[in-house]
Every structure is written in structure tokens, then in C-alpha cells.
Amino acid sequence: MPRIYLLSEHTACRIAAGEVIERPVSIVKELVENSLDAGANIINIAITGGGIEAIEVVDNGCGISQEDTPLAFQRHATSKIKSIADLNCINTLGFRGEALPSIAAVARLSIKTRVPENNMGYHMVIKGGQVLRKEPVGCPVGTLINVQDIFYNTPARRKHLKSKSTEGGLIADMVYKMALIRPQTRFIFSHNGREIFRSPGSGNTLDVLASVYDVRTANMMLAINNQEQDIKVEGYISKPELSRSTRQQITVAVNGRVVRSRSINNALIEAYRGKLTAARYPVAVLLIWLPPDKIDVNVHPAKMEVKLSNEEHLQLLITDAVRRALRETGLIPHPVKMP
Ligand code: ADP
Ligand code: MG
């Protein structure tokens, strides 16, 4: 029998990082989710070279205290849950305490962070899991995280990255989706020093739709709303005159988290049956709210998929909400009642 070895923390962390941090967009997603969890209402995201060269996320959230900052880089260190029971009522985007240690395991990460109670902030630089610097620093309240040398110690992963423009495009799409589902937060996104996108943070999804697409698109949207007991579906869907050739412009959030869900997409598309030609899809922002105990977010390494209980019921609610909105535009005739 071969011998069994317990891997060192360092090795375990590098392996775990492979699941959470697949490409630059994974880093952006984790950092922005942390900013949202920290209560930020302004999040500035700047990438260089498609996010392969550098990623910086700056927020005006609650910051991390000096004593907690080193802890934030330890695996399974989180301020968001305390016990397994808390997993049933998660209302934060993070809870596994994996993102920061994973990013710091495969890149060079610099953090400057300050809590409102302190005059000074704290600065740490970590590369490949090794702390290179830690010192007090003057900085605004909130958190700045800068990531460089991404995948420098995992050449296989680096080799699998696509072109800068493809990786940058994936990041832009993620930022747009997060901005669309968090209209009260102002997102600013720049690439190679040039501002690409800015959402106003007005709280109005239509304003974000106008920033992501254009005013014409925002004007082609219909509001949807449906609620049954503790399940709520809201958001915006496009009139059938406006359609796209991919499902990419369908943004779905469950309890404030961007997710990919074939069944939710299908429920939406089903409602357009007969209204869109084959291989055309709507633009939509669907916000779904469920009691936290009806959803399991702990089924996917990057939490991009969630498990829903009673999925068919949710699908019916979505299809019904979308059909009603489309009917009100007069495009789908009211069902004719038999005399
Ligand atoms: P998780 O989000 O699952 O808790 P992370 O590794 O992403 O794990 O972050 C670890 C901890 O660091 C968080 O629980 C939080 O307390 C703190 N943290 C990370 N990013 C920020 C931020 N931008 N602002 C405030 N606190 C943060
Ligand atoms: Mg996190």
C-alpha cells in the first residue's frame, strides 16, 4: 500500500485555490462580493491587461481592523458565519473564508484597509502565501486590494487563460451583472486606465440598464413582479421587439447573488414562446428572493450555482410574472374565455 501523507497547509491552500480561483474574473467576483458584504456603496474596479496583469478593487465599506487583517488571509477564517447552523440562514455572499487566502496563494496581493474607529489603516503584502510586508498605513476608511503576478506559481493555470480581451470581457460581464442586481451601489469599472462603465448607484435598475446598454434598451424594458407566500420574483424583462442572439444578457440573482441557472432561464424563455424567433433571447434582470433555508449556496466552488428546493414552483411564478408583463403591452392576447 502506498503511504498516505497529510499535505502541508501551504500545499492544501494552493490546491483549494485552484477550485475557487479559476481565472481573473474569479478574483474580481470574490473581491467585489467582499466589498458588497462590507456594506460598500461605491466600488471601484480597475484591471490591466484583461485582469491577467493586475486587478484592483477599492471600496468604501467597513474595512478590516489591524488585528483581523492577518486572520482574513487564513483559510476558513470568516466574520460571516460561526457555526454550521448559520449555513441555513446565510445573508452574505461569502461565508467560507476561502477567497483571500486562495488569491494570496496564487498571486501577489497587497491590501490597505481601515476601519472608521481608527485613524490609521493597515497594509499587508502577501505573495504565494508568504507575508512580505505588514505595517500601519494612512488610508481612507474601506479596503483597497491590489492583485498582481496572477498564477505566477501555477503555470498550467496561466497557460489556460484566454486572450486579454476575452478575460477582460468576462470581467466586464461580471461587473455589469453585479451592478444590475445591486442598483444602490455605484460601480466604476476601468480597463488599462480607461473608464469603461459607471453605474449611478441611484437604486433604480433602469438607470443601471441604461448604463450597461443604452437609454433605448432601458426604455424597452417591462417591470415584472410576482409574490407567493415567501417567494418573490421581481425585475425587468425586454419587450419582444428587443432580443439578442445569446442568453448572455439574462441576469439572474437569487437572494442578491448572481447565479447561473438553466431552469430559471428556461422559465423566462418559455414565457416568450411564440413571441421570439428561434435562437433569439430576451434581455432581463431577474431578482429572486427566497427564505434562506430554501436554498443551498454551498454546492459549487465559486457559488455560481445554487440548489433550490421547489424549483418547479419557482419556474411557474417566473413564467407567470413574465407572461403577465408581456400581456400588458398588448402583444400577447388575453386568454379568451369560452362563453
Ligand atoms: P468570506 O468572504 O467567505 O468570509 P474571504 O476570504 O473572502 O472570506 O474574506 C475573509 C474575511 O475578510 C471576511 O469574512 C471579512 O471579514 C474580511 N474582508 C474581506 N474583504 C473585505 C472588505 N473588502 N471589506 C471588509 N472586510 C473584508
Ligand atoms: Mg469572500
Report how far ligand 1's centroid is from the alpha carbon of 239 (Å).
Answer: 40
Pocket lining: 143 vs ligand 1, CB cutoff 6 Å: yes
Residue 209 counted as domain residue: no
- Residue whose grid cell is 489556460: 160
Q: Whose CA is nearest to atom 12 of ligand 1?
A: 72
Q: Are residues 189 and 65 in the same domain?
A: yes
Q: Is the pLDDT of residue 333 over 60?
A: no
Model-wide pTM > 0.90: yes
What confidence tens digit (pLDDT) does each residue in 25-80 have? 999 999 999 999 999 999 999 999 999 999 999 999 999 999 999 999 998 888 88
Q: Is the pLDDT of residue 17 over 80?
A: no
Predicted complex: ipTM over 0.95: yes
Give the per-residue pLDDT at 87.
78
- CATH, residue 119: 3.30.565.10
Q: What is the mean pLDDT of the chain?
A: 92
Question: Among 143, 103, 153, which residue's Cα sits nearest to residue 126?
Answer: 103
DSSP string, 6-40: PPPHHHHHHHHHHHH--SHHHHHHHHHHHHHHTT-
Q: Are residues 265 and 314 in the same domain?
A: yes
Q: Are residues 71 and 35 in the same domain?
A: yes
Report how far ligand 1's centroid is from the alpha carbon of 249 (Å).
Answer: 29
How many distinct structural domains can be found in the chain? Answer: 2
Q: Whose CA is nearest to atom 16 of ligand 1?
A: 79
Residue 173 counted as domain residue: yes
- Residue 337 — very low, low, confident or very high, per pLDDT cuts 50/70/90? low
End-to-end Cα separation, the chain, in angstroms = 79
- CATH, residue 322: 3.30.230.10
Q: Are residues 182 and 224 in the same domain?
A: no
Q: Is the pLDDT of residue 14 over 90?
A: no
Domain that holds residue 287: 220-328
Give the per-residue pLDDT at 301.
75
Q: Are residues 246 and 163 in the same domain?
A: no
CA distance linking residue 60 with residue 236, whole number of Å: 28
Pocket lining: 99 vs ligand 1, CB cutoff 6 Å: yes
What confidence tens digit (pLDDT) does each residue in 121-143 have? 999 999 999 999 999 999 999 99
Asked if 269 and 281 touch (Cβ cutoff 8 Å), the reply is yes
